[in-house]
Every structure is written in C-alpha cells, then in structure tokens.
Amino acid sequence: MLLAIDIGNTSTVLGVFSGEDLIAHFRIHTDRMRMESEYRVVLQNLFALENLPPPKAALLSSVVPPVEREMKEAIEKLFGIKARVVDAEATGLEVCIDNPKEAGTDRLVNAVGALGYQSPTGRYIVVDFGTATTFDLVEVPNRYLGGAITIGPQTAADALAARTAKLPRIDLVPPARVVGKNTLDALRSGLVYGYAALVEGMVRRFKMEAGEALVIATGGFAETLKDLCPSFDVVDEDLTLKGLLRIHKGQG
C-alpha cells in the first residue's frame, strides 16, 4: 500500500495504490494555512471514507513547501511511517536544462509517469493543466529535455474577472458556437477554444523543434480539451500519481 500525494498550488491530489492498482483517489484544496493536526484529521477521514487500511509507504511531490512540511509530519504521526519527498535525484532522470535545480518536481514526476507509456519515437510531450500549464519534452530512456510554462486556464479566467468591471467569473465549458452571441458564451469561447488553440500551437512548435512525440495530457482541464485538441494521444488524469508509483518502485 502506497500513499502518493501531489501537492500543487491550487489542488492536492492523493492516491492510494495496492500494488499497481490505484484503489482510491482524492482531490482537496491546497491550504497553506492548514496545520499538521488538521491534515491528520483530513487524512484520517479520507481513509475511513473508503475503508482503507493504513499505507505502508508514502511518497510526496510538492511545489508548496509549507504544505509539504505539514503534510509530511501529519502522515508520519498518523500512520507511523516515513514520508519521503521526491527530489530530482530520486526521479532517476537526466535533467538536461541549464540549471537542473530549477526543474519543478511535479514536472519531473510527470516525465517519469510518461515513460511508462510506449512511444513509437521514444519521445513524449507532457501537457499538464494546473494553476500554470506546463509543456515538457521527455526522451527515452530517462532524459528530461525542458519545456514551457504559461498561465493555467482557470487562473486566466480568474484574472480576467478580477481585472475587469463587467466580466463575470464563468465555468470553463465549451459553448455551442465559437462566435458567442452573449457575454458568457463569448468568454467561454475565448477561454476554452482560445486555450485549445494555444495548446495545439505549442504542441506543433515542440514537434517542429524536436520531432514527433507521444502527447500525454493531464490535469483537471485535460478532459475538457480532449475533444478540441486532436494532438492529444493520451489523456491520463493520474499521470503524476503513476509517476510517483514508478519512482517508489525504482522505475524512474
């Protein structure tokens, strides 16, 4: 039993594996103010909700150090196990960028997860939709080659609503038509279809520069865009958790 946790800026995703099988999956809000004792309550309740036995191991990927610290301590106190936090060395990747220490742990873990798929060319483009959207280039057997970062779709929508007097917050769902006939549909068109065009353009440029690759999309917005982005070969919401499992098993 492995407890795998991906701590992101907006959401924290928790997965429980029994062997290769992901038997439970939870998503909670990332709260920088939550204390260790509160995380203990959260974890205890989640495990009770699914009637899960205590994990034998725990592995964390994090881009939020304060939450990482509190979550790690909560796991160790609640379950009596050592919680390990992934770093670049633990992934087993050759990080081929100017300063390997700059590479986000979540992006490296995604790279390890991507290597679990078969790519005809031995290359992968990973698109991860979160607070920021990241594009990463990976190559067999274990090379992380770099990538690109842009604003995430929900972050863009929130910023637009916050900085304009008359534009409301909206749900990011595609409207029936690209040409909106009202403000809400015009916003949805720009933010959803426009974002799909951004993604398709970036994937195309990656392939122009690096060659053909298997494109794997992950993160909450991947499902929304999968029918609008023909470049996606795979949509895997659990890619980061699967990467953590591979690292735990020494497959990074």
- Do 76 and 124 belong to one domain? no
- Do 155 and 78 belong to one domain? no
In this predicted structure, what is the pLDDT of residue 189? 94
Cα–Cα distance for residue pair 235/177, rounded to 1 Å? 24
Asked which of 28, 54, 85 is the last residue of a domain, the reply is 85
- Do 156 and 36 belong to one domain? no
Residue 236 in tokens: 């895997």
Which uninterrupted H or E stretch holds 137? strand 132-139
- Do 144 and 217 belong to one domain? yes
In this predicted structure, what is the pLDDT of residue 252? 61
- Do 74 and 126 belong to one domain? no
Can you give the CATH number for the domain in which 179 is found? 3.30.420.40
Q: Which domain holds residue 56?
A: 2-85
Say how many CA atoms lie within 13 Å of 250 toward its Cβ: 0
- Asked whether the beta carbons of 30 and 8 are under 8 A apart, the reply is yes
Per-residue pLDDT of the chain (252 residues; tens, 9 = 90+): 999 999 998 899 999 999 999 999 999 999 999 999 999 999 999 999 999 999 999 999 999 999 999 999 999 999 999 999 998 889 999 999 999 888 889 999 999 999 999 999 999 999 999 889 999 999 999 999 999 999 999 898 888 888 887 777 778 899 999 999 998 999 999 999 999 999 999 999 999 999 999 999 999 899 999 999 999 999 999 999 999 999 999 876
- pTM confidence score: 0.91
Maximum alpha-carbon separation in the chain: 58
In this predicted structure, what is the pLDDT of residue 64? 92
Number of separate domains in the chain:
2
What residues are annotated to the active site? 106
- Do 74 and 114 belong to one domain? no
In this predicted structure, what is the pLDDT of residue 220? 84
- Asked whether the beta carbons of 13 and 24 are under 8 A apart, the reply is no
- Do 115 and 163 belong to one domain? yes
- Do 66 and 178 belong to one domain? no
- Do 180 and 158 belong to one domain? yes
Asked which of 64, 85, 106 is the last residue of a domain, the reply is 85
- Do 164 and 78 belong to one domain? no
- Do 46 and 143 belong to one domain? no
Asked which of 21, 50, 85 is the last residue of a domain, the reply is 85
In this predicted structure, what is the pLDDT of residue 205? 98
- Do 103 and 73 belong to one domain? no
